[in-house]
Chains A and B, each alone.
Chain A
Amino acid sequence: MNHSPGLVSRRSVGYKSLITFTVLLIAWLAGFSSRLFAVIRFESIIHEFDPWFNYRATGYMVQHGFYKFLNWFDERAWYPLGRIVGGTVYPGLMITSGCIHYILHTLNIPIHIRDICVFLAPIFSGLTSISTYLLTSELWSRGAGLFAASFIAIVPGYISRSVAGSYDNEGIAIFALQFTYFLWVRSLKTGSVFWSAGAALSYFYMVSAWGGYVFITNLIPLHVFVLLLMGRYSERILTSYSTFYILGLLLSMQIPFVGFQPIRTSEHMAALGIFVLLLIIAVLRHLQSVLSRSEYRKIYLFGVIAAAVIVFTGVVILTVLGVIAPWSGRFYSLWDTGYAKIHIPIIASVSEHQPTTWFSFFFDLHILACSFPVGIWYCIKNVNDERVFVILYAISAVYFAGVMVRLMLTLTPVVCILAGIAFSNLFEVFLKEDNNSNTFAHKTISYVEDHDDNSMEKKNLYDKAGKVKFRPKHDTLHETRSGIGSNLKSVIILAILMILMMFAVHCTWVTSNAYSSPSIVLAFHNNQDGSRNILDDFREAYYWLSQNTDDNARIMSWWDYGYQIAGMANRTTLVDNNTWNNSHIALVGKAMSSTEEKSYEIMTSLDVDYVLVIFGGVIGYSGDDINKFLWMVRIAEGEHPKDIKESDYFTDRGEFRIDSEGAPALLNCLMYKLSYYRFGELKLDYRGPAGYDRTRNAIIGNKDFELTYLEEAYTTEHWLVRIYRVKKPNEFNRPSLKLSERILTPTNYITKKNPKRRKGYIRSRPTVIKGKRTKKLQ
């Protein structure tokens, strides 16, 4: 409802707004329902890893209220350090769903917070498509807007982060992003403080929702800068930008996690620089109006040079002085693409930080990928202020998407906008009162219909450049309609609609095959009878933990599973997916990769009660801990080069193998033992040998061994999760540790990071080496 006033042009209320409304409604419904595969196949459950933390935090906020949440010190994470959650999260997501929950419950609608969290992203996808519509109709025409809305409703590149259950920041951030851009463009066109203030507010929401707000803080100044270069300076720009910048700056600093970064880090300096530059130019303009030509030229030259010098040197000096922090590693790794691999193994270890192949472009965007350049072409051909913006948006986004797979997310909306423009142009050439395609599906009907209206809209929505261009076009259209010939036209239309339908089908296919598995419940199809089996081992293990261990038991596992353990088992973890403390993770990695005795010392020093490992050898699950083991070793080696050496875990020929040729260091390390304890006796099928690992396709090398310091506490039905209890010093025949030995050498706790990263800067989604998508496709 909230959008209906926005949709309606002041001129004519009526069937146009009705059509617009229906199309947007259909787009919303289509987007919503195509995101429900996971819920229908499995159940309404939170997916993957990060969402579990968000869900837990939301639950905490709903239970204890907002202020308690803001200064929530979570002692269940990062034992023994703990984590100041309130100061290290973007609270937008939790607040959003918390508000929804609150409102519903004041209306006596008792919906469980889980369901709100699960369905938040799909609902927001509808809002995203509406804001995309608004933005596009500001940029080009309402017809193009409807196209863009329909595209972004179902495009996989966006669905990948917003399926029901993936309760993550991106889900709502894209809406905030688009809406901010819409308000910005609107404010730029009108030059009204109202809209730019609105943009600032929406920017504030974006900042509270996602770290990707930096994209906005750099793109909008870039836009302004390019406009200045193009000599398109106007008071409107001055008003809207200065309003937006100041308000946005102040508001964004209200988020605890952001704090003073907007004035302290160089990611945000561009905005400031442009602000200063803009003011200087404004002053010069004013002078021009009062001074005489000759003296103005001097002042002008002087002023411009001075301005440039001042801004530049100022930034440089401040950076050198350390007042402004240099670029953070993750930001830097966008420019120097090899940076992460060398310096931040944790970032490099995350599969989403890999560059993007053309395959994934096409996989996520299909026809849009090859049609959005057309949009760019036309935007450039009849350019104006706001189209400069969308061009810059496209260029920068496409670069970032090329560098990192996960930034495909920022590319998708602009691609939808531009493809919408391209297609609406195309159709409005060939679709003058051709109603021969009513036989097509709903969406295509809407495509067909909205052309009659956008062509009429054009007159009042296009700016001069557009008009000058398009008036004659219309006339020519009228005479050449017979020219192209209706048969040819209909053929062309059919072909294009065909392609669009293929796009819709492709989206559905990709969504259902690649992006709709909760990765907590695994489903595999039985080859013999094609029946669908469900492996629920993760929840089995977590529930066992929650029911049958002491309430404040400490559980050691690799960081991927920290959030899930905290969320589902509600137990204390040592490390989790918020990988802010490299040294702590390295310590766990060291414990996993050293022998039982050594790791027992580490574990007792961290008073670990249980150890949890993921082992896929029985069912052939590729994403288990042995496959991730090398990263543990690398990260451990980064902090403890003396004790752990990656080379020890390879054979002489530099292979990583678990069978009898495997390196002794590997065959005797804790991770190996915990994964394969008593696996050597297990025969998976009658013909096969005992202890045959289906994931690595090898017979394990170290078969019959006993554990001294740990005992098997629980192993799930398919051995996917194995939990071991760390024996207390008095439980085995071994002199118990003296207190002096329990204290770790303090070097382990000194993190080699600057204070910035200690505040949880690296928030990398932990789908490490999961190979989900490839597994689905092969």
Chain B
Amino acid sequence: MKLENRVAVVTGAGRGIGKAVSLAFAREGADIAVASDNGVENLAVAGEIEQLGRLALPFEVDVSDPAQVASMAEQVIDRFGHVDILVSNAGIIRRGLLIYSEDSDWKRTIEVMVYGTYHCCKAFVPGMVERNDGRVIIMSSVMGKMSNPANSSYAASKHALIGIARTLATEVVMLGAKGVTVNAICPGIADTDMVTGPEGSMAKLSEMLGISPEEVWKQFMKKMSLQERLIEPEEIAAMALYLASDDARGITGQAINVCGGTIMH
């Protein structure tokens, strides 16, 4: 198994990509802190992990709150002793044209994704540096490398996360921890609540534009990828697993696209 007895913290683990990552890691032998702001979903995923014969610690947390992240870190260390892998994946979308946007909505996106990742890295990376062993995997997006109209706070956050990944990759080495790698994954449009759920992008755009979700797919999303399909959460999880494994010890500071050819840079 690729992650025998490793300990991973996955944020946004209650559903979608984070859930797929948690299960892929557990299947390869890791114990998981299942963290998100939805306690019910955390419990359900924790149950699935236990069925795979691994330990799970469900933890309800708002990653934008440093105190909550610090208390999560304390409990995770208490339970598992250390953390080998951090997957900073929690994320939200607040659509709107920049000029008409609500300040609080716009800033909330940055707080959850950028500050959330900052808080989690601050809480979990020092232990990795100390042991000179660890993996940080940050969920950016193709929107971290391209324009995303009516979604500038999201694009700004995802661009920023690539900056964090590159910089932190360099800093851990400056601290002498060449055994710690830091990378971002940039998924293309994926089949999760964020896109296909009742409040997802498809439903929102369909409402905003007064066209059916099928038309939204045809007009706005289908042509965005060469493969003209949604990416499955399991495909993102496979890349996270690869980056978490020993095979990827030489990969650091990268932002890797899993996007069916939406972007190529």
Report whether chain A binds chain B.
no
Question: Which residues in B have some Cβ–Cβ distance to A below 8 Å?
Answer: none
